[in-house]
Amino acid sequence: MRRQRRMGIGMTDKTPPGDRIAKVLARAGVASRREAERMIEAGRVTVNGKIIDSPALNVTSAHVITVDGKPLAEPEPPRIWMYHKPTGLVTTNRDEKGRETVFDHLPKELPRVMTVGRLDLNSEGLLLLTNDGEVKRKLELPATGWLRRYRVRVNGKPTDDMLVPLREGITLDRETFQPMEVSIDRQQGANAWLTVSLREGKNREIRRAMEAVGLTVNRLIRVSYGPFQLGQLKSGEVEEIRGRVVRDQLGLDKEFKPATTPRPKVNRRRKPPGGKPRRQ
């Protein structure tokens, strides 16, 4: 009975119909599933007029859901965009230090989107965006196993022997990094260009791993995330991935909304980090 009172919908021992409330919120693009759970615990979500405080609740289309007093909108078809993140932007909705975020520089015509994973302040390159929290979750799961490839410039003169620990996997501050694929592309004066590939990215993993073998990263560009390639996408631009491609790659049964144009891009009048608006 305690469980029934907390949920407020007359649960029985049988599995109730519908989906978990956090999953429904994620599907509607409100937030990722984890963020939705925090919103629920904060008392920001109601079901049939009652505030809920636990995500352990299944709902169907018959339930009336509100978030911060606003009715939950019907979920749009899942969509994914590729964004060429410049340096100098943080990958978060809000920054406590007041720094500019990637969301400050996205085109206004985009719907509410979430980032798939992160790139740190000084990293650049491919960042995937989606309007669907379940797609975000699926792409971020280590079980997905998608290879993430980076072009990395380091200060120093790396040798194959120096890179052996990275290829075998190292442990730093009690945190174990999985083996990386690392190749030396070319030496260019005091710097060298490397290609680094990994399947599970942790916070500043490449930078920390390179420091451990005596190399300092001074530029890091993500060039691919699984089957999606940065290609010729320019810094600051956005391109939607066609629905058929996404559906085939993710194996999703939900219909994807196709890109309206081959290459929808960021409004070039938006002010780039630390610079003036570009003229068209």
List active site positions. Answer: 120
Residue 8: count of CB within 10 angstroms of its CB: 17
175-176 and 181-188 strand pairing: unpaired
Q: Measuring CA to CA, how many Å separate 63 from each of 68, 71, 248?
A: 16, 11, 32
In the numeric block, the tokens 């980090």 are attached to: 273
Q: Measuring CA to CA, how many Å separate 115 from each of 35, 85, 88?
A: 13, 11, 16
Residue 43: count of CB within 10 angstroms of its CB: 10
